């Protein structure tokens, strides 16, 4: 059944080309129609729908260009993933491990290994013509995984990804997967077109491809789900089903902790202009913290909740995959103790540039970066709030004076107005933080980085036998007493450690700006978008130019007609309408008797006459009868360029011409 679905999905890929060819055919027909209407417009025969045709043609051209360009660039979809390519010189241990696992899986190793900032692993392959032509292979490996996974768990992850390359993992399934990515790219490119200019046609094409992608997904996702089961089987054969199950359970947990590390530590210190030389080692250090490790192990051990079957899910549920792995039996050799991936070498500077794009930071060794991170993570907000509550330009001495005067309740309300007990507790925390900042400023304490909360204050004093770290509880007890109006002992404690409470605040009056990183946009997507915008601009400029030229074009001159009279002395009587005027040479007498000499009337374009509309007369017919154009008649009678209707008995002004038609 899976094979039949794969074949059907491959056949459905031809539908993309059919839609594209239909679009090209419609575009050609619309171009011919537009040319014909534009020619009529230039001749003075206006059409009210010319603007709609031009905009429709422009939008259709953009849509067809996007479709055709996307059809032959499917291989760039995976290549756009932000990543750091590493060679064997930069990461020799990783490359050796990748080659080893590829040999165990029975495939040739990938051409490239790229590290990403995502908690995931994937394989990709450059391909053309919707994936029908093979190309260069890539392995994308999430950097956070290397900090936590053991060597055998990483073997399971790579075995799963390499399972997608195996010969028995039919190439048709790979084409199916790339076909869906192609449809996604087509829809996204069409949706990114400037809809306020060319929205109708591009939106129509986007809707067609979205509906087609929905149908394609219904057929193809069953193939992709089966792919995942088959890749799990390959991984179990290489590393054992237990290792594969542990790896699957670890992904969500590692992702949660990686988010905490990047937001609370990496981006926070980058805002101050610093970054660790080895971000992977710092993340591994955070995961080795006792409290973090306990929480991480609990997340790994949690069983996933069963989920209902989803026909449009690209991957099977975690519960289904774990159930199948539990039923597998694999004779996997016992691996010797191997070096952990977190200890391998990686290009640190390139990883910093990848994780912090556009940030100008100084890479620091681990010890120095920890010290900077501790200062950034110090509880400054609470101390700042306490000083603001004490008044403008307040210092630690100001706060102690207010506490001594019994103003603790008023200060505490700035932290929590609803719960007095919680407000007093937060006041104690704020006073401890404020005293800590003054101690650090005096050189009697320092902040120690904590992986579970705000930085911890370490107070020390210099004695004859060396530096002695004072108990943490000692300052806490003095803070509680100070909040209860007994501030003398806290003053003595601070004075013994060379703290001047009257000094200005040891930190900035206002908090630093929060670092905001812009979403990633690949060079490929940026170039494609710019090409579409440039094409749209050219079409719009051409349309405006054609419209202006056509609107300002002079009316066509009257056609020259030579009247050849018969050679006879007897001319028939010509009954001319009363509204037609003639001009004769001066001195010529009019007579009721026709002369034998033919009289040829002369057309004077400067004279204007009037004509009464008869039944059956139209502007086009009158223009031919009086040797002029519809445009001239509309302009002469103020009819407007879009009005071509006439009423019987209506009087029209016409140039001085002979009516050549009855």
CATH number at residue 602: 3.10.350.10
- Confidence class of residue 532 from pLDDT cuts 50, 70 and 90? low
Q: Do residue 378 and residue 293 come from a single domain?
A: no
* Burial call 47-57: b when 16+ CB within 10 Å, e when fewer: eeebeebbbbb
Q: Is 477 helix (H, G, I), strand (E, B) or coil?
A: helix
Burial of 343 (0-12, 13-18, 19+ CB in 10 A): exposed
**Torsions phi, psi for 89 (to 5 deg):** -75, -35
- CA torsion angle for 213, 217, 219, 221 (degrees, to 10)? 160
Tell me: the pLDDT tens digits for 51-85? 666 666 666 666 666 666 655 554 444 445 688 99
Contact 250, 301 (CB under 8 A): no
Which residue matches tokens 């912090």? Answer: 356
Three-state secondary structure string covering 253-304:
HHHHHHHHHHHHHHHHHHHCCEEECCHHHHHHHHHCCHHHHHHHHHHHHCCC
Q: Do residue 288 and residue 430 come from a single domain?
A: no
Report the percentage of the chain scoring pLDDT > 90: 37
Helix axes of 14-42 and 523-552: crossing angle, nearest 10 degrees:
20
Q: Do residue 386 and residue 337 come from a single domain?
A: no
Region 17-44: mean pLDDT is: 71
pLDDT at 588: 46
pLDDT at 538: 61
Rounded to an integer, what distance in angstroms lies between the CA atom of residue 398 and that of residue 61?
A: 72
- Confidence class of residue 581 from pLDDT cuts 50, 70 and 90? very low
- Confidence class of residue 569 from pLDDT cuts 50, 70 and 90? very low
More confident residue, 617 or 24: 617
More confident residue, 14 or 390: 390
Rounded to an integer, what distance in angstroms lies between the CA atom of residue 619 and that of residue 24?
A: 37
Q: Do residue 383 and residue 258 come from a single domain?
A: no
Three-state secondary structure string covering 606-642:
EEEEEEECCCCCCHHHHHHHCCCCHHHHHHHCCCCCC
Which residue matches tokens 């004077």? Answer: 604
In the predicted model, is pLDDT for residue 22 greater than 60? yes
pLDDT at 273: 93
- Confidence class of residue 386 from pLDDT cuts 50, 70 and 90? very high
- 80, part of any domain: yes
- 35, part of any domain: no
Length of the chain: 662
Contact 280, 148 (CB under 8 A): no
Tell me: the pLDDT tens digits for 401-418? 999 999 999 999 999 989
In the predicted model, is pLDDT for residue 601 greater than 50? no
Task: Name the least confident of 162-166, 202-206, 224-228, 382-386.
Answer: 202-206
More confident residue, 334 or 169: 334
Region 382-403: mean pLDDT is: 92
Q: Which of 426, 461, 496 is at the close of a domain?
A: 496
Q: Which of 359, 384, 400 is at the close of a domain?
A: 359
Q: Do residue 393 and residue 355 come from a single domain?
A: no
- 291, part of any domain: yes
Q: Do residue 250 and residue 375 come from a single domain?
A: no
Sheet holding 456-463, edge to edge: 445-448, 456-463, 466-469
pLDDT at 134: 64
- 112-116, 517-521, 618-622, 651-655, range with greatest mean pLDDT: 112-116
Tell me: the pLDDT tens digits for 315-357? 788 888 999 999 988 777 666 567 788 889 888 888 999 999 8
pLDDT at 618: 85
In the predicted model, is pLDDT for residue 149 greater than 70? yes
* Burial call 147-172: b when 16+ CB within 10 Å, e when fewer: bbbbbbbbbbbbbbbbbbbeeebbeb
- Confidence class of residue 42 from pLDDT cuts 50, 70 and 90? low
Which residue matches tokens 């059409």? Answer: 47
pLDDT at 563: 44
Any bridge partners for residue 363, and if so which? 275
Task: Name the least confident of 173-177, 301-305, 490-494, 561-565.
Answer: 561-565
Spatial CA neighbour of 164 closest among 133, 197, 138: 138
Q: Which of 359, 377, 393 is at the close of a domain?
A: 359
Q: Do residue 114 and residue 221 come from a single domain?
A: yes
DSSP labels for 310-359?
-TT-SS--HHHHHHHHHT----PPPPPP---GGGS---HHHHHHHHSTT-
Q: Do residue 266 and residue 140 come from a single domain?
A: yes
Task: Name the least confident of 31-40, 242-251, 491-500, 633-642.
Answer: 31-40
**Torsions phi, psi for 389 (to 5 deg):** -70, -30
Contact 196, 30 (CB under 8 A): no
Q: Do residue 392 and residue 344 come from a single domain?
A: no
More confident residue, 552 or 537: 537
Parallel, antiparallel or unpaired: strands 456-463 and 604-612? unpaired
Q: Is 114 helix (H, G, I), strand (E, B) or coil?
A: strand
Q: Do residue 354 and residue 467 come from a single domain?
A: no
Region 551-573: mean pLDDT is: 48
- Confidence class of residue 214 from pLDDT cuts 50, 70 and 90? confident
Q: Is 66 helix (H, G, I), strand (E, B) or coil?
A: helix
Spatial CA neighbour of 401 closest among 488, 498, 478, 503: 488
Report the percentage of the chain scoring pLDDT > 70: 66
Region 252-257: mean pLDDT is: 94
Any bridge partners for residue 141, and if so which? 115, 121
Any bridge partners for residue 116, and if so which? 142
* Burial call 398-430: b when 16+ CB within 10 Å, e when fewer: bbbebbeeeebeebbebbeeeeeeebbebbbbb
- Confidence class of residue 305 from pLDDT cuts 50, 70 and 90? confident
In the Cβ-directed half-sphere of 314, how many Cα atoms lie within 13 Å? 9
- Confidence class of residue 519 from pLDDT cuts 50, 70 and 90? very low
pLDDT at 562: 47
- 81, part of any domain: yes
pLDDT at 125: 75
Furthest CA-CA distance within the chain: 147
Q: Do residue 325 and residue 376 come from a single domain?
A: no
DSSP labels for 346-389?
--HHHHHHHHSTT---EEE-HHHHHHHHHHHTS-HHHHHHHHHH
pLDDT at 363: 93
Region 618-625: mean pLDDT is: 82
Angle at 304 between CA 302 and CA 308, to 5 degrees: 165
CA distances, 608 to each of 212, 460, 515, 617 (Å)? 63, 109, 77, 19
Overall domain count for the chain: 3
- Confidence class of residue 423 from pLDDT cuts 50, 70 and 90? very high
- 20, part of any domain: no
Any bridge partners for residue 128, and if so which? 133
pTM passes above 0.85? no
Q: Do residue 310 and residue 435 come from a single domain?
A: no
Spatial CA neighbour of 661 closest among 632, 628, 624, 611: 624
Spatial CA neighbour of 246 closest among 148, 334, 167, 171: 148
Tell me: the pLDDT tens digits for 436-483? 999 999 999 999 999 998 999 999 887 666 667 788 788 999 999 999
In the predicted model, is pLDDT for residue 374 greater than 50? yes
Rounded to an integer, what distance in angstroms lies between the CA atom of residue 202 and that of residue 190?
A: 6
pLDDT at 59: 63
- 1, part of any domain: no
pLDDT at 245: 93
Rounded to an integer, what distance in angstroms lies between the CA atom of residue 145 and that of residue 612?
A: 90
Q: Considering only CA atoms, give the Rg of the chain.
A: 42
- 238, part of any domain: yes
Contact 480, 428 (CB under 8 A): yes
In the predicted model, is pLDDT for residue 130 greater than 80? no
Residue 294, token pair as written in the block:
């306990």
Region 123-143: mean pLDDT is: 75
In the predicted model, is pLDDT for residue 589 greater than 60? no
CA 52 to chain centroid, in Å, comes to 31
Contact 325, 245 (CB under 8 A): yes
- 541, part of any domain: no
Average pLDDT score over the chain: 77
Structural domain boundaries, residue 452: 367-496
Task: Name the least confident of 235-239, 241-245, 344-348, 610-614.
Answer: 610-614
Q: Is 140 helix (H, G, I), strand (E, B) or coil?
A: strand
DSSP labels for 22-43?
HHHHHHHHHHHHHHHHHHHHHT
- 84-93, 195-204, 521-530, range with greatest mean pLDDT: 84-93
């Amino acid at each position: 059944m899976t094979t039949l679905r794969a074949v059907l999905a491959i056949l459905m890929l031809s539908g993309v080309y059919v839609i594209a060819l239909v679009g090209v055919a419609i575009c050609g027909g619309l171009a011919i129609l537009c040319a014909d209407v534009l020619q009529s417009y230039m001749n003075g025969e206006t059409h009210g729908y010319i603007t709609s045709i031009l905009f429709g043609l422009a939008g259709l051209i953009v849509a067809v260009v996007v479709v055709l360009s996307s059809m032959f660039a499917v291989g760039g979809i995976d290549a756009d993933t932000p990543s750091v390519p590493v060679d064997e010189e930069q990461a020799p241990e990783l490359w050796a491990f990748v080659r080893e696992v590829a040999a165990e899986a029975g495939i040739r190793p990938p051409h490239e290994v790229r590290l990403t900032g995502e908690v995931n692993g994937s394989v990709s392959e450059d391909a053309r013509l919707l994936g029908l032509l093979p190309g260069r292979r890539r392995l994308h490996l999430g950097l956070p995984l290397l900090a936590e996974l053991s060597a055998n768990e990483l073997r399971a992850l790579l075995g799963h990804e390499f399972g997608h390359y195996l010969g028995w993992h039919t190439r048709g399934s790979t084409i199916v997967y790339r076909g869906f990515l192609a449809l996604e790219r087509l829809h996204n490119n069409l949706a990114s077109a400037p809809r306020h200019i060319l929205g109708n046609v591009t939106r129509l094409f986007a809707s067609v491809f979205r509906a087609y992608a929905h149908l394609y997904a219904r057929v193809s996702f069953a193939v992709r789900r089966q792919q995942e089961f088959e890749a799990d089987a390959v991984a179990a054969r290489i590393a054992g089903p237990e290792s594969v199950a542990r790896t699957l359970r670890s992904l969500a947990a590692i992702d949660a902790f990686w988010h905490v590390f990047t937001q609370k530590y990496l981006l926070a210190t980058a805002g101050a202009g610093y970054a660790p030389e080895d971000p992977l080692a710092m993340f591994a250090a955070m995961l080795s913290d006792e409290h973090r490790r306990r929480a991480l192990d609990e997340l790994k051990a949690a069983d996933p909740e069963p989920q209902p079957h989803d026909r449009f899910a690209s991957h099977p549920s975690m519960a289904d995959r774990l159930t199948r792995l539990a039923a597998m039996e694999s004779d996997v050799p016992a691996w010797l103790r191997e070096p952990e991936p977190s200890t391998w070498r990686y290009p640190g500077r390139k990883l910093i540039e990848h994780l912090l794009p556009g940030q100008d930071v100084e890479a620091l060794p681990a010890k120095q970066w920890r010290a900077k991170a501790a200062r950034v993570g110090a509880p400054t907000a609470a101390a700042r709030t306490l000083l603001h509550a004490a008044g403008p330009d307040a210092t630690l001495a100001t706060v102690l004076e207010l506490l001594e005067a019994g103003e603790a309740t008023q200060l505490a309300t700035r932290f929590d107005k609803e719960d007095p007990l919680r407000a007093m507790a937060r006041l104690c925390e704020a006073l401890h933080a404020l005293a800590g900042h003054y101690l650090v400023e005096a050189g009697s304490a320092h902040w120690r980085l904590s992986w579970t909360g705000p930085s911890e204050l370490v107070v020390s004093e210099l004695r004859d036998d060396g530096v002695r770290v004072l108990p943490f509880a000692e300052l806490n007890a003095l803070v509680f007493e100070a909040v209860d109006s007994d501030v003398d002992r806290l003053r003595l404690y601070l004075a013994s450690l060379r703290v001047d409470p009257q000094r200005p605040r040891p930190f900035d009056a206002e908090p630093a700006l929060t670092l905001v990183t812009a979403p990633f946009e690949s060079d490929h997507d940026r170039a494609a978008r710019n090409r579409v915008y440039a094409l749209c601009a050219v079409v719009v400029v051409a349309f405006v130019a054609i419209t202006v030229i056509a609107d300002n074009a002079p009316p066509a001159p009257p056609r020259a007609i030579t009247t050849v009279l018969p050679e006879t002395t007897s001319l028939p009587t010509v009954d001319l309408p009363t509204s037609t005027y003639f001009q004769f040479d001066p001195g010529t007498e009019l007579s009721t008797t026709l002369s034998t000499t033919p009289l040829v009337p002369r057309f004077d374009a400067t004279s204007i006459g009037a004509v009464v509309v008869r039944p059956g007369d139209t502007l086009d017919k009158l223009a031919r009868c009086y040797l002029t154009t519809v445009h001239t008649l509309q302009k002469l009678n103020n009819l407007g360029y879009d009005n071509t209707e006439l009423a019987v008995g209506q009087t029209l002004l016409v140039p001085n011409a002979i009516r050549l038609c009855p």
